[in-house]
Chains A and B, each alone.
Chain A
Amino acid sequence: NAGVTQTPKFQVLKTGQSMTLQCAQDMNHNSMYWYRQDPGMGLRLIYYSASEGTTDKGEVPNGYNVSRLNKREFSLRLESAAPSQTSVYFCASTQSWRSSYNEQFFGPGTRLTVL
């Protein structure tokens, strides 16, 4: 089991460029999440997908879009990157948000720099 995988690990973009961060999990989890982590700000939820076929905005969705491609994959797209989107991005998954045991499993992260 690979758990949660993310690609790429590192990326440098110029302002205005677009890119898609990929996330996949092999644990048959229903719920998936995208966070960004900035110094002093902790983990902030960007978007989440409670189950296949659904997506919802989190705390900081502006400038991002997501696609729940299938049960395994949840991608995050930056349409026009801005320096304020320089951050470390984490994808996470859990069996189901409805479960009483709702541990989230995290991927290794993508370090994004926007110049």
Chain B
Amino acid sequence: QKEVEQDPGPLSVPEGAIVSLNCTYSNSAFQYFMWYRQYSRKGPELLMYTYSSGNKEDGRFTAQVDKSSKYISLFIRDSQPSDSATYLCAMSSPGGGADGLTFGKGTHLIIQP
């Protein structure tokens, strides 16, 4: 079983819709959770960073962590065509290892104008 599971999509929604992207994980030691956005032919860039459980909001984006269920989500409100990208979840544990973050495989999101 992979440590981090993420549906690869593609997920296609109309402009203005609320988007929900999710990851599940198996390692209960994970405490730091990130969402990266990767546009086509570009490197990933950090979108949201959360520590432990709870919600974090930044503009149209909300990151949610439920450690009891080992489940994290990214919500995008009022989605725009410019949000079309691949979204990767990533996570790590405190001092968890020099090999760094554990990534999901990414969900390809398409926002239709």
* A interface residues (Cβ-Cβ under 8 A, vs B): 4, 31, 33, 40-43, 45, 48, 50, 56, 58, 90, 92, 94, 97-98, 100-109, 111
CB distance from A89 to the nearest CB of B (A): 10
Q: State the main secondary structure of chain B at its contact with A.
A: loop
- Tell me the nearest residue of chain A to B95, going by C-beta: A98
- Tell me the nearest residue of chain B to A106, going by C-beta: B43
CB distance from A109 to the nearest CB of B (A): 5
Chain B residue contacts of A58, Cβ below 8 A: 99
CB distance from A75 to the nearest CB of B (A): 17
Chain B positions 40 through 74: 1 when the CB is less than 8 Å from some CB of chain A, otherwise 0: 01111110010100000000000000000000000
Find out whether the CB atom of B97 lies under 8 angstroms from the CB atom of A100.
Answer: no
A2 to B105, CA, bound (A): 27
Find out whether the CB atom of A108 lies under 8 angstroms from the CB atom of B42.
Answer: yes
Chain A residue contacts of B92, Cβ below 8 A: 102
CB contact between A45 and one of B41, B46, B99 (< 8 Å): that residue:
B99
User: Is B103 on the interface with A (CB-CB < 8 A)?
Assistant: yes
Find out whether the CB atom of A45 lies under 8 angstroms from the CB atom of B88.
Answer: no
Chain B positions 62 through 98: 1 when the CB is less than 8 Å from some CB of chain A, otherwise 0: 0000000000000000000000000010101011011
Whether A42 contacts B34 in the complex (CB less than 8 A), given A56-B98, A102-B100, A108-B43, comes out as no
10 extra interface residue pairs, beta carbon distance < 8 Å, beyond A56-B99, A109-B42, A109-B43 = A31-B100, A42-B106, A43-B88, A43-B103, A48-B98, A48-B100, A90-B43, A102-B100, A103-B46, A105-B46
